[in-house]
Amino acid sequence: MYLKKLTQSGFITIDYYTNGVLQTLKGRVTRLNLKDQLLSLKDEKQMSFSIRLSSIRHIY
Global pTM reads 0.80
C-beta separation of 38 from 16 below 8 A: no
Half-sphere exposure of 13 (CA within 13 A, CB side): 4
Please give the average per-residue pLDDT across 7-32, as a whole number: 90
Domain locations in the chain as residue ranges = 2-59
Q: What is the pLDDT of residue 6?
A: 72
Query: Per CATH, which fold does 2-59 belong to?
Result: SH3 type barrels. (2.30.30)
- What CA–CA distance (Å, rounded) separates 8 from 18? 25
Q: What is the pLDDT of residue 60?
A: 84
Burial 6-44 (b: 16+ CB within 10 A, else e): eeeeeeeebebeeeeeeeeeebbbeeeeeeeeebbbeee
- What CA–CA distance (Å, rounded) separates 56 from 60? 11
